[in-house]
Structure 1
Amino acid sequence: MLLLTAAVIALTVFVLIDLLLSAAIIRRLRDTEARLDEITPSARPGLMNGTAMPDFSDAAGTFTRAGVTDVPLLLAFFATGCRYCPTQAEQLAHRKAEIDGHGIRVVSVLTVLDDAAPDDLTPTLEKSGAVVTEHGPGGLMATFSVTGTPTFLLYDRTGTLLGSGNSIHEVMERWIP
Structure 2
Amino acid sequence: MLLTVAVVALTVFVLIDLLLTAAVIRRLRETEARLAELTPTTRPGVMTGTSMPDFSAAEDTFTRAGVSGAPLLLAFFATGCRYCPTQAEQLAHRSAEITGQGIRTVSVLTVIDDDAPDDLTPILEKSGTVVTEHGPGGLMATFSVTGTPTFLLYDRNGTLLGSGNALEEAMERWIP
* Common fold: TM-score over 0.5: yes
2:159 counterpart residue number: 160
Alpha-carbon distance change, 130 to 13 in structure 1, aligned in 2, over 3 angstroms:
same
Q: 1:175 is paired with a residue of what secondary structure? A: coil
1:76 counterpart residue number: 75
Asked whether the equivalents of residues 162 and 169 of structure 2 are also in contact (C-alpha less than 8 Å), the reply is: no
TM-score under structure 1 length normalisation: 0.87
Q: 1:153 is paired with a residue of what secondary structure? A: strand
Q: Quote the sequence identity (%).
A: 80
1:141 counterpart residue number: 140
Question: Unmatched 5+ residue regions in structure 1?
Answer: none
CA distance in 2, matches of 1:157, 1:150: 23
Asked whether the equivalents of residues 74 and 107 of structure 2 are also in contact (C-alpha less than 8 Å), the reply is: yes
Corresponding pairs, count: 175
Asked whether the equivalents of residues 72 and 104 of structure 2 are also in contact (C-alpha less than 8 Å), the reply is: yes
Q: 2:57 is paired with a residue of what secondary structure? A: coil
1:104 counterpart residue number: 103
1:51 counterpart residue number: 50
User: 1:82: Cα distance to partner?
Assistant: 0.7
User: 1:175: Cα distance to partner?
Assistant: 1.5
TM-score under structure 2 length normalisation: 0.87
1:176 counterpart residue number: 174
Alpha-carbon distance change, 111 to 8 in structure 1, aligned in 2, over 3 angstroms:
farther
User: 1:83: Cα distance to partner?
Assistant: 1.1
Residue 63 of structure 2 aligns with an amino acid whose one-letter code is T
Q: 2:56 is paired with a residue of what secondary structure? A: coil
